[in-house]
Amino acid sequence: MRLRAFRYCAKVKEMYRTTIRNAALGVALCLLCLMNTTNRVEASAPPKARAGATSKSFGKQKNGKQVELITVTNNRGMVAKIMTYGAILTELHVPDKKGTLGDVVLGFDNLATYEKGHPYFGATVGRIANRVAKGKFTLDGREYTLAVNNGPNHLHGGLVGFDKVIWNAKLMTTAEGSAVQFTYVSKDDEEGYPGNLSVAVTYTLTNENALRIDYVATTDKATPCNLTNHSYFNLAGKGDITNHIVMLDADRFVDVDDTLIPTGKLPTVKGTKMDFTTPHAIGDHIAEVGAEPTGYDHCYVANRAGGVKKFAEVYEPSTGRVMTMYTDQPGVQFYTGNFLDGTLTGKDGIVYKKHSGFCLEAGTFPDAVNQPSFPDSILRPGETYRQTTEYRFSVR
């Protein structure tokens, strides 16, 4: 009896040990599977974008000067490319509603085409952005004469404005994202302007998918100063922009004559084809605005002054991309690429036809240097010119 009991107890103990071993083995196998699964998930997860700014050669000018192309990336993968020639924004890659990056600015993929001449694609423009009537202005009792390069008027700084010079570049990293600062000294009497003007333009690509442009300038003589960026945007990446839905926070615009020089009047947009206070497609009235070629090329008066405020919102339905513009400037020139005529071929072989892009150029009003009632555009020694414009991108 005792022997049978002993054998029975031994058998129970062995069964118990086997159960424990099997359980332990099962737990180990489960842990191993879990680790393998975790490893597979981590391996398949998209890597975080490597933010920063890098520089490489973009070729040499005809005069032999080297031009650098700076690539700025944020930690979400958005990319901006700006070159030292003209401090020109050549590419801006922004995600659509599917997360696919696409280039949303017009431009070229080589320096030679930029040098041949173009309608200020992506350029930093100055000393005076926009037009000066008959290329003349009077400052402190002296008349100054500028180049006439747009019909009877001076446009965007003259024959060799800021868009055609080589800027010095400094790559930077900030708490907000990655950046590049461009600097240039415009010498006294350059393009007919008085004073040595020292300019710094900083492009910052924030980790919130915004491109911010900060301008700072000082002078040793009184001089006009009105800087802007002249990027042509197309949120679909190609085609025309007539389906883009636009809202502008502006109840008035600057009335102009047939050479696009202001008459001095600031009429209301209410009840006119100029009204974008309620969002609608660019193409709704574009054929009814302006002389041939028709389209918008008008400075809108910002409703809110002081500080960086929202001025515009643009939505492209097919990609879902939204661009929201903030600025501290009193006016924004809204231009719809009216003079693009299919003679220019850009990146990826895209032919730039009429209305292939739109511009939102922040600054003071056109010909402000000759219009006493307009916001002052004169910078004097001891003062600092500052301007900030930001283009924020999202999807809908």
156 is catalytic: no
Strand partners, 136: 145
CA torsion sign for 375, 380, 386, 389 is positive
- 3-state SS of the chain: helix, strand, coil percent to 5? 20, 40, 45
Which residues neighbour 181 within 8 Å (Cβ) at sequence distance 6 or greater?
Answer: 169, 170, 172, 200, 201, 202, 203
Q: How far apart are CA 135 and CA 148, in angstroms?
A: 5
Using alpha carbons, select from 128, 160, 130 the residue that is nearest to residue 144: 128
User: 94 in helix, strand or coil?
Assistant: strand
CB 387 within 8 A of CB 375: no
Asked if 361 is an active-site residue, the reply is: yes
Whether the bond between 293 and the residue before it is cis, its omega within 30 degrees of 0, is yes
Q: What is the DSSP string of 253-283?
A: E--B-TTS-B-S---B-TTSTT--SS-EEGG
Strands of 328-395, DSSP E: 331-335, 344-345, 351-352, 359-363, 378-379, 385-395
At residue 275, φ and ψ (nearest 5 deg) are -80, 115
Q: How many CB atoms lie within 10 A of CB 37?
A: 10
* DSSP label of 18: H
Q: Which of 352, 346, 363 is nearest to 225 (CA)?
A: 363
Catalytic annotation, pick one of 118, 154, 156, 230:
230
Residues 6+ away with beta carbon under 8 Å from 35: none
Residue 101, token pair as written in the block: 């990056």
Which one is catalytic: 190, 313, 316, 361? 361
Q: What are the φ/ψ torsions at residue 8 (nearest 5 degrees)? A: -65, -45
Residues catalogued as catalytic: 230, 361
